[in-house]
Structure 1
Amino acid sequence: MLFSYVFMYLFFVMFNFSLFQFFSFFCVFVLLMSVDLEKFLLGFFNLNNYLFLDTISGLMIFLSVFIMFCVYMMNYCKGFKKDVLFLLSLMLVFLCFCFMCNYMLMMYVCFEIVFVPLMLLIMYKGASPERFSASVNMFIYTFFGSLMFLLLLLVLDISYVLILSKVILLCKNGSYLFLMVFFVFLVKIPMYFTHLWLPKAHVQASVEISMLLAGILLKLGGFGLIRLFFMFDLSLMWEVVMFLMVLNIFGGMVISVVCLAQVDFKKLIAYSSVSHMGLMLAGLLSLSVMGQSGGVMMMVSHGFCSSCLFFMGNMYYERVSSRNLVMFKGVINLFPVLSIYWLLLIFINMGVPPFMNFMSEIILLMSLLKKSLFFIFFLSFMMMFTVFFCLSLFLNFGHGMLMEQGSMQEDSYLDLIIINLHLYFLFIYLWKISFLLIF
């Protein structure tokens, strides 16, 4: 632990963070590094009924801290404004509380308020006038969709209690509440038919906001479903669950086809996230241990992969000054090192072994095919179209005549460090695969 404190102090001095940002990072870092801190907090402050920390919460908090750390690193040389730093730090604090909440009202508050700094950052750091309409669309989808969560809290407050661990014991026969819970989180994931706000938000947001949105905030929906699934006896409404599974798999296939027609790389990566989250959501709906484990692994691996894809796409954008894939032709001749990393990320995104995405997709496919072999038709087409748009994405970057010379900006060591950090955590499971033992 002494090494951890020294590291945090050096990090504070080197990056010249304010006291508030250092304190937030310090609290979360110690929480992850110290095993006894949880017992200390829950015992001394008597927070057993309000906060708890398990494997899934630890993974989500670590992912949040890591991506926020990368966001701070990539803006170290550019310089952050204090109000932007404050909003990012505030978002990190509410994210960590949301992942640790055992009290449903507190979870609801953190779940919703974390999108307020996001909308402010989109409006503040966006470049085009359409950023206001993108923020309004996100507000309408997320906040009005979450009214069902508030209604659920009112029902539980009247009939049961709001402590999550006790609700799980008391609400076993409340299957009629499932659709209310599901509607809340499908907007955040987002599921097919409720995803229209996501591409607009990514296009208008800066690269930092896109990394946070794809890497962390889209995982709130899956995390909430995992937390609340065990409240219900879904065997009483198996037909509805099967319909939702088919809808998510079919939606993932359709979105994969939509990706083939995209020329804006940010829209393409955003639609790719919708396709992957559809497969993850279908695996969670299988209600099996294998589906739950594969869903958690998919959330973690997609968090690292999508964040790095947006980061590398922005590196090309800074050198070519365009998001159009046609303008990226022949870039491999200018930046061969970045092209190698880009090819590796494309392989990870399409689920090539031995990366973490491959393992998560295999586990999810096995959990779905155990429920019904009918799914193999849609899953085959979805995987085929995923390979098509991933390969076309690399070909647009790597081959063809150079359309524009661009700025011959050298590869920054800090940029390469951020890329390698993402790739390290996508490889680390090869040495210690503990995701399968989550449940």
Structure 2
Amino acid sequence: MKIYMMKFIMLVMFMNLMVVYNSMVMFYYNLCYLLSFLLIFFYMEKDIEWFNIMMSLGCNYYSMMLLMLSFWILGLMFMCLSSEGVELKLKLIIFVNMLMVLVMFFTYMDFILFYLMFEISLIPTFFLIIYWGSNMERLSAGYYMMMYMLLISFPLLVYIFNMYMYGMTMKFSLMVKVMNNYDITFWGFLMIYMAFFIKMPIYLFHVWLPKAHVEAPVYGSMVLAGVLLKMGSYGLIRLMEMFYKVSVKYSYIIFSIGIIGSIIISILCLVQVDMKSMVAYSSVVHMNLMLCSLMTFYKVGMLGSYVMMISHGLCSSGMFFMVNLYYERSGSRLLFLNKGMISNLPTIIMWWFLFCIMNFSFPLSLNFIGETLMLMSIVNWDLMMMMYLMLICFFSSAYSLYLFSYVYHGKNIYYESKIYNSSLKEYMILINHYFPLLMFMLNLMLFM
């Protein structure tokens, strides 16, 4: 098993050299899908706490599915690239390096290297927004993201050195054993955890996310929603294993911010006029609810959050891609300029409906399984949360159905000759977003 994983990592590294001589996009996305499928075989080792690969690289239960998600979403990103483009090779190099950083992030067992990859992942995202964004506001969006991430994650670096002085180790498996009595004040708790809260993002610090999503190109939005938001929650799981005493002590503060934030943002979704902005804000609602579920420290809550990470990554990535389909045809992301698509694009109404209902966790979707487990853990933590959760569920279904009905119904403002029909590749991308969601729901034993 170790040898196979080493081959995987070496292959991702050698993809950089492949880009120099081979710019065929089809080769890269097929390779990503193949690697994602092959990773399923590592589930034979999922009961082991960590299985070591080489040096500081290892894999465990929480990183396996996220590794598969990284390969899958990057494959979908490669599919979004047009085969002919001036900057195709540059984009391929940036995407391949982003994939390498993600693989390293989810497999590093060493805290300092883990932190390093966490910060390096910002660089390709920054390039995506600044160079390939469409509007002038992309500069402010990029700087917002950089300032939030860098300024708030530097205190974590100082604390990492302090942790090393205390425990004399940086290995996660050893830190779980020795860091139980590491004394942290409330401000220390915030400094350590805030770097990961920002990346999720938690309410009050979420301002960078809708800006970054709106200004980024479609493949930038897909990787941001699909994988980069999951880096924050994965980092939280790693830290919560180490500092569970202090996390339980201060969890109620984060819990209250997350629940109230979810309600406010879900109401805010109902007044959005930009489709991409609405999908971005809905990501904030799901991530805050997921954070609350993690903070309960129940096994059901952890499992629900993990299922939600995977399902939200695929669902929101698919929604961003579909918003881009409408944007390419109508030239606008505004809701009232994309009305009456039922007469122009009747073939993809089913996909838009499927992703919209998955966004509010309709039964027979993986999101439903994840959200049910999350709601169970939050209600078990405090019964009074029932009222807030009812509001969140109601508003999330309201804005998802509003988004669907507004786009497909109403008065059509375009001549039919203007809107061209979908290509086979676009259908393939939609099918590849939906297929894992359906398959994982039919085989939930993977998460157990």
Q: Does residue 344 of structure 1 match 2:354? A: yes
In 1, the alpha carbon distance for the partners of 2:174 and 2:231 equals 21
Per-residue displacement from partner, 1:399-430 (whole Å, max 9, x unpaired)?
11012337321211111011011111111123
TM-score scaled to structure 2, two decimals?
A: 0.88
In 2, the alpha carbon distance for the partners of 1:209 and 1:89 equals 13
Q: Does residue 84 of structure 1 match 2:91? A: yes
Question: CA offset at residue 394 of structure 1?
Answer: 0.8
Of 100, 106, 111, 2:107 maps to: 100
Q: Does residue 250 of structure 1 match 2:260? A: yes
Question: CA offset at residue 22 of structure 1?
Answer: 9.0
Aligned to 2:80: 74
Per-residue displacement from partner, 1:253-307 (whole Å, max 9, x unpaired)?
1100000010001110000000000000000000011010000000000000000
Aligned positions of 1:198-347 closer than 5 A: 198-234=209-245, 238=248, 240-347=250-357
The 1:427–1:135 alpha-carbon spacing in structure 2 relative to 1, beyond 3 Å, is: same
Aligned to 1:164: 172
In 1, the alpha carbon distance for the partners of 2:40 and 2:305 equals 25
Give unpaired runs (5+ residues) of structure 1.
none
Aligned positions of 1:184-199 closer than 5 A: 184-199=195-210
Any conservation in 2 of the 1:178–1:232 contact (CA below 8 Å)?
no
- Partner SS, residue 52 of structure 1: strand
In 2, the alpha carbon distance for the partners of 1:175 and 1:244 equals 19
Q: Does residue 173 of structure 1 match 2:181? A: yes
Q: Does residue 411 of structure 1 match 2:419? A: no
Any conservation in 2 of the 1:297–1:360 contact (CA below 8 Å)?
yes
- Partner SS, residue 362 of structure 2: coil
In 2, the alpha carbon distance for the partners of 1:197 and 1:397 equals 26
Q: Does residue 142 of structure 1 match 2:149? A: yes
- Partner SS, residue 123 of structure 1: helix
In 1, the alpha carbon distance for the partners of 2:221 and 2:96 equals 16
- Partner SS, residue 228 of structure 1: helix
In 2, the alpha carbon distance for the partners of 1:36 and 1:426 equals 18
In 2, the alpha carbon distance for the partners of 1:148 and 1:363 equals 34
Aligned residue identity for 2:71:
V
Any conservation in 1 of the 2:200–2:233 contact (CA below 8 Å)?
yes
Any conservation in 1 of the 2:330–2:419 contact (CA below 8 Å)?
no
Any conservation in 1 of the 2:213–2:276 contact (CA below 8 Å)?
yes
Question: CA offset at residue 36 of structure 1?
Answer: 11
Aligned residue identity for 1:54:
N
Q: Does residue 64 of structure 1 match 2:70? A: yes
Any conservation in 2 of the 1:175–1:237 contact (CA below 8 Å)?
no
Question: CA offset at residue 233 of structure 1?
Answer: 3.5
Aligned residue identity for 1:103:
D
In 2, the alpha carbon distance for the partners of 1:23 and 1:321 equals 30
In 1, the alpha carbon distance for the partners of 2:30 and 2:298 equals 40
Length, aligned pairs only: 424
Question: CA offset at residue 18 of structure 1?
Answer: 11
The 1:203–1:106 alpha-carbon spacing in structure 2 relative to 1, beyond 3 Å, is: same
Any conservation in 1 of the 2:340–2:409 contact (CA below 8 Å)?
yes
Question: CA offset at residue 76 of structure 1?
Answer: 4.0
The 1:97–1:342 alpha-carbon spacing in structure 2 relative to 1, beyond 3 Å, is: same
In 2, the alpha carbon distance for the partners of 1:98 and 1:23 equals 23
The 1:329–1:35 alpha-carbon spacing in structure 2 relative to 1, beyond 3 Å, is: closer
Of 361, 364, 373, 2:371 maps to: 361
Any conservation in 2 of the 1:173–1:233 contact (CA below 8 Å)?
no
Any conservation in 2 of the 1:216–1:303 contact (CA below 8 Å)?
yes
The alignment yields a C-alpha RMSD, in angstroms, of 2.9
